[in-house]
Structure 1
Amino acid sequence: MDDQNKNLILAVALSMLVILGWSVFFPPPEPSPQDLAATAPASEAVSGNTASVPLAASGAEPVVAAEVKTAADAPRIKIESSHLEGTISLLGGRFDELKLKQYRQTLDAESDIVSLLKPTSAENAYYALYGWAPGGGLAPDLVPGPNTIWTLESGDILTPSTPVVLAWENGQGLTFRREISLDENYMFAIQQSAQNNSTNTISLAPYGTIARHGEPADLKNFFILHEGAIRHVAGELTETDYGDFESARAHEELEVGDKGWTGFTDHYWMTTLIVDQAGAKISTFQDTTRNIFQTTAKHKTETLAPGQSAVVSSRLFAGAKEWETIRNYENESGVPKFLDSIDWGWFFFITKPMFWLLHYLHALIGNMGWAIIGLTFIIKLVLFPLAYKSYASMAKMKELQPQMEKIKEQAGDDRQKVQQEMMALYKKEKVNPAAGCLPILMQIPIFFSLYKVIFVTLELRHAPWIGWLTDLSAPDPSTIFNLYGLLPWDAPEQGSVLALIFIGVLPLLLGITMWLQQKLNPAPSDPIQQQIFAWMPWVFMFMLGSFASGLVIYWIANNTITFTQQYLIMRSHGYKPDVFGNILSSFKRKSKDAE
């Protein structure tokens, strides 16, 4: 087998390995705060200047049905903005009902908007609440906790222009207030204060916590995507899958430093506690008995003498992981490394700038499909020097084909002599037979990164291109099964075996462009290899048919540009491939054979 064919086989094998591996692994998918499900948790006595909050595994009883009903019937404060709608329950001051007005569950205009937070009365409850952990002998019922009934002191509806203030007095000289404000996007600011009007010195620590009752119902469980707890502490990002949570008794508390954040991330949505003051600690744990996942930020303990007060500020992000919004919170609002809450993957050094470029192309063009094609042009432009050398080398190799065949005839079965004379010929003509593999090797991390961008970023969700392609994050919905809508039956459901077989327009175009590109490459001399290569475009066509349509658009554009580049460069170096003539001759020959 000549070296040119070896290089071609190596390039194809690498591509096959990438696609096969991808289709296998990513198919078309201090003390801790008290138990949020506890009715009256027992605290652990802590002396000195440290506040104590009961552990979730302290043996407290779960919420009973009557108390769940009380939670459902508790007064609520309405949340209203251009991005959010929901309510805050005065039971614990819980953020437990929140919907994202800009996003719907499906492409249907009548589909429900996305629901992010849910109360304990709903399945898969998911909520955030704030409180104070008692210390220095202070009893738990003397500080506000999960089941405290707050009073609305000022405000009516929480909007970006109208904050609200909650208040609660414990009847023994302690007054607590919580001021809540909201910006134009997804960030709440929470200011907690405690006033000691008693005759005793007290110690207590404010905290915020987010809880999820069980794993999310829409958990993707894709290897490519992290879903679960996420935190940024002391410059380090940590991701914890739901199966890796520590138990309540075994969890670790981490010093935040000046700033940090912790919470839960889903495919497109996120809820995080943001700590802006030094001395706080962050913890992540699971109440295995009740299957409650919890992440908490506890501020440093405050010691208040009679007449003294303390005020602590923090923030709560609850919304969509929009790239520009998240970036603005990082750059303009001082949330460290907040953009890393989007799962950029192993090739983040490629994925991040790639999405940055895609984002601005989309802003310029106004359509994400055309932006992907524009991104493909730019990638090919950056890789053009490598491509030029590769295709020039292939043209030169084609010119040397007669001499290479002559060497093989003269050397006969002496393979060592063939190799030696081939290498001498390459050296004389200044040809690098491995140059043809470089563009393929460069495409592998680019392909992974673009797949990551299309799969994890919210901006591709429900993004239309043209005609029937209304969601670039989903596979092409068209199918030959019903002649692309001409026959009166529905197309196979996405993800089914039939959907993998009866592929859409985009996968067909992908197969055709791969086939055309293949025609520029010299055919292997071995008949078996020829058959393998002949089938490869159509195998890839079916393998990639279930991939996100945005990725298939990239591959079609990449194949088309590559074909054009290779054709023009090879012609400029003296080799004039008659691709379409060869295709026509092939059809004529097959028709004659059939007769």
Structure 2
Amino acid sequence: MDDQNKNLILAIALSSLVLLGWMYFFPPPEVPPAPEVQATETASADGPVSTPSAAVAADAATNQPAEEASVSDAPRVTIESDRLTGSISLQGGRLDDLALKDYRVTIDAPDIVQFLSPVGEQGAYYALYGWAPGSGLAAEDVPGANTLWTAPAGAELTPDSPVTLTWDNGKGLTFNRTIAVDEDYMFAITQSVTNGTGNTVSLAPYGTLARHGEPADLKNFFILHEGIVGMTDGELTELDYSDVADFEIDPRDGSRSEIKQVEGDGWIGFTDHYWMSTLIPAPGQAFRSSAKYDERRDIYQTDVVLPTMTLAAGETSEVTTQLFSGAKEWATIRAYEKGGIAGFLDSIDWGWFFFLTKPIFAVLHFLHGLIGNMGWAIIALTVLIKILVFPLAYKSYASMAKMKELQPEMEKLKERAGDDRQKQQKEIMELYKREKVNPAAGCLPILIQIPIFFSLYKVIFVTLELRHAPFFGPFQDLSAPDPTSLLNLFGLLPFDGPAPDSIMALVFIGILPLLLGISMWLQQKLNPAPTDPTQQMIFAWMPWVFMFMLGGFASGLVVYWIANNTITFSQQYLIMRSHGYKPDVFGNIKASVKRKPKAGKE
């Protein structure tokens, strides 16, 4: 077997071992069991009695966030900013209507992305806030999911004008909820209560995100996390919808839930491919977080319950939490993290290779800002990566060139050793040692390239910045497969090729996959074909198999692969020539297409 082919097979085997080893030593974190609910003692006129805490009452209250009462006829407060449009229902004070002005459903469609939606619509998704009763209060004494709030006439929520909702329970408690929004996607919700009852009361503020059913556009792709995401005291938690649905049944209310007590920084919410809603207590605020699933009504929800407040007669207390609801833009989320939301950038699914995906995207984002075109930014990133790994590539290609020079002497050693393979291997290794050649050096660029390739694939697939990012001509969405094919004359005719998930797309592939196959084929021709017929056939088909395999991948990834192959070809050609070996590319191409003589003929 040719040594170069041995190196390739060895590289594939070692790469598989690296991935398997990583999965073994760094498995995904196990979901910890939910802590048991403890009763707390509260004072009463008759002395201390054991009753459920307000936090536990909040768990019960938030288990019913989506009562099927219609909210369509309830009064609403308009939300309007440069990036958001929507409204707040005064029934429950629900933030349940939100659309993202900067993002279209598809490139050509005028419809903007509708993110949150009220009860009664398909895929209802909304945020609720309220108070859970403690000692001295009943459920009807505090605002809940269907409380009808009042707002000032003509109120409109904008970045410059917060809105305050008010509700009086008629028994001496007055509740206010002030909602503010910044220039991007962050809402600040300040809940306050004034105790005019003449008695001491206790109650706990909470926030809830509720989602009716799984999202209609759920990808269910292994490389992407969709579902519940949260940070608890520096530990990231990612739960798929199926994980939540498999929780043990909570005996208190029949829901399936997991509850955590957070002592410091944290947040919890739902993440989609490109969008996210997250409940965020103030930094350093202890809170109780939970993920729940009500299988009777097919409702998923996340809750944040703050510590119980005790108010003496005449006292007022307030608490402020935040709600992120919008697009997972790297720069925006990074700014919020720098502003004090611990670990918020980890809400983007960087994967196990986060130590590669994070810096790769940071550099890509910088290059995009510098160049102004994501396609050229990917090519520039490829050049930078090749520069970084050039020292290893140089050693590899120099070693390959040296081995080519030693090929005649190796053939002589094989002839002298005959069938004694042990003697043959011993003399070959002595030759390598004498000539200072490392046969494994050719594996290094491949081993390095595999995690880089996977990380870049992750970045291109997961990050919002690649969505609908144009390159040139027909390539107007680098997160989508190549839209060209023979059917539209590779983009010359004004319509797209076959749908990416159709059988036709496997046959009529685009121009980018074709260029990928050609670049891999040319790279092979730097070396003569293997003498073994089986290997020769495998290597001959490999570029075209990859061409069809990667044809349905994001076009941004294919752009990277083409650029990488082109640079690799140039590097290998020049380095091998500088070490005395002159690759006969055209001769190897000619030999590969030369017709073999028929059996029995010279």
* Normalised TM-score (structure 2): 0.89
- 1:89 paired with 2:93, answer no
Tell me which amino acid in the other structure corresponds to 1:168.
W
In the alignment, what sits opposite 1:150?
A: 149
Instruction: Determine if contact 1:248/1:286 at 8 Å carries over to the other structure.
Output: no
Match of 1:351 in 2: 357
Equivalenced residues, count: 566
Q: How many angstroms apart in 2 are the aligned matches of 1:271 and 1:530?
A: 54
How far apart are the structure 2 equivalents of 1:303 and 1:154? 33
Q: Quick one: distance in 2 between partners of 1:31 and 1:294? A: 19
Residues 103, 192 of structure 1: alpha-carbon distance in 2 compared, 3 angstrom cutoff: same
8 Å Cα contact 2:516-2:547 kept in structure 1: yes
- Cα RMSD over matched residues? 2.6
Separation in structure 1 between the aligned mates of residue 178 and residue 65 of structure 2, nearest angstrom: 31
SS of equivalent residue, structure 2 residue 553? coil
Alignment correspondent of 1:4: 4
Shift of 1:48: 8.1
Does 2:182 match 1:183?
yes
TM superposition shift of 1:57: 10
Out of 252, 262, 270, the residue aligned to residue 264 of structure 1 is 270
Select 2:394's aligned residue among 370, 388, 394. 388
Question: Counterparts of 1:585 and 1:136 in 2: how far apart (Å)?
Answer: 89
Identify which of 447, 450, 458 aligns with 2:453. Answer: 447
Tell me how far apart the structure 1 counterparts of residues 494 and 88 of structure 2 sit (CA, whole Å): 49
* Compared CA separation, residues 372 and 489, structure 1 to 2 (3 A): closer
**AA in 1 matched with 2:91:** L
Q: How does 1:151-230 map to 2 (within 5 A)?
A: 151-153=150-152, 156-230=155-229
Matched, 1:293 2:293: no
Summarize deviations over 1:18-47 as a string: whole Å, max 9, x none.
Answer: 99xxxxxxxxxx999xxxxxxxxxxxx973
Q: Which amino acid aligns with 2:346?
A: D
Alignment of 1:130 onto 2:129: yes
Q: 1:56, CA displacement in angstroms? A: 5.5
Using a 3 Å threshold, how does the CA distance of structure 1 residues 56 and 502 change in structure 2: closer, same or farther? Answer: farther
Which of 511, 520, 528 is equivalent to 2:517? 511
SS of alignment partner, residue 184 of structure 2: coil
Structure 2 matches for 1:246-325, cutoff 5 A? Answer: 246=247, 247-249=249-251, 251-276=257-282, 278-325=285-332
Map 1:390-469 → 2, pairs under 5 A = 390-469=396-475
Q: How does 1:60-139 map to 2 (within 5 A)?
A: 63-64=67-68, 67-68=69-70, 71-108=71-108, 110-139=109-138
1:544 to 550, 561, 575: 550
- Alpha-carbon contact 2:474-2:491 (below 8 Å) kept: no
**Distance (Å, rounded) in 1 between the aligned partners of 2:393 and 2:457:** 22
**Paired residue secondary structure (1:251):** strand
* One-letter amino acid matched to 2:259: E
- Distance in 2, matches of 1:391 and 1:379, equals 17
Q: Deviations over 1:191-221 (max 9, x none)?
A: 1000001112111011110000111111100
Please give the alpha-carbon distance, in whole angstroms, between the structure 2 residues aligned to 1:48 and 1:55.
Answer: 11
Q: Partners in 2 of 1:58 and 1:368 — Cα distance?
A: 44
Contact 1:514 1:559 in 2 (8 A): yes
Distance 1:521 1:429 in 2: 21
Checking the alignment, whether the CA contact within 8 Å between 2:479 and 2:554 is kept in structure 1 is yes
- In 1, the alpha carbon distance for the partners of 2:461 and 2:383 equals 21
Aligned-residue offset at 1:62: 7.7
Quote the Cα distance in structure 1 between the aligned partners of 2:496 and 2:380. 34
Distance in 2 (CA, whole Å) between partners of 1:96 and 1:61 is 12
Q: Deviations for 1:86-116, whole angstroms, at most 9, x for unmatched residues?
A: 00000010000000000000001x4310011
State the Cα deviation string for residues 231-267 of structure 1 (Å, max 9, x = none). Answer: 1111111011101113454534322223211100000
2:337 maps to what in 1? 330
Larger displacement relative to structure 2 (276-285 or 121-130): 276-285
Distance 1:57 1:314, change over 3 A: closer
The separation in 2 between residues aligned to 1:397 and 1:297, in whole angstroms, is: 64
**In structure 2, C-alpha distance between the alignment counterparts of 1:335 and 1:410, rounded to whole Å:** 71
The question of whether the paired residues in 2 share the 8 Å contact of 1:188 and 1:316 is answered with yes
Alignment partner of 1:53 out of 57, 61, 66:
57
Aligned partner of 2:28 in structure 1 is none
- The one-letter code matched in structure 2 to 1:203 is S
3-state SS in 1 of match to 2:552 = coil
Q: Secondary structure at the match of 1:167?
A: strand
With over 3 angstroms needed to count, the CA separation of the structure-2 counterparts of 1:208 and 1:239, relative to structure 1, is same
Counterpart secondary structure, 1:91:
coil
Q: Is the 8 A contact 2:66 2:210 kept in 1?
A: no
The one-letter code sitting in structure 1 at the alignment partner of 2:57 is V
TM-superposed CA distance for 1:417, in Å, is 1.1
User: Please, what TM-score do these two structures have when normalized by structure 1?
Assistant: 0.90
Query: In structure 2, do the counterparts of structure 1 residues 326 and 347 end up closer, same or farther at CA, with 3 Å as the change threshold?
Result: same
Aligned amino acid, residue 127 of structure 1: Y
Separation (CA, whole Å) in 2 of partners of 1:152 and 1:60: 24
* 1:377 matched to 2:376: no
Counterpart residue identity of residue 531, structure 2: S
Checking the alignment, whether the CA contact within 8 Å between 2:62 and 2:208 is kept in structure 1 is: no
Measure, in 1, the Cα distance between the counterparts of 2:171 and 2:10.
79
State the identity %: 65
In 2, Cα distance between equivalents of 1:80 and 1:398: 68
**CA–CA distance in 2 between the matches of 1:59 and 1:273?**
16
Q: Distance in 2 between matches of 1:194 and 1:61?
A: 21
Superposed CA deviations along residues 328-367 of structure 1, whole A, max 9, x for unmatched, are 0000x21000000000001000000000000000000000
Where in structure 2 are there 5+ consecutive unaligned residues? 20-34, 38-48
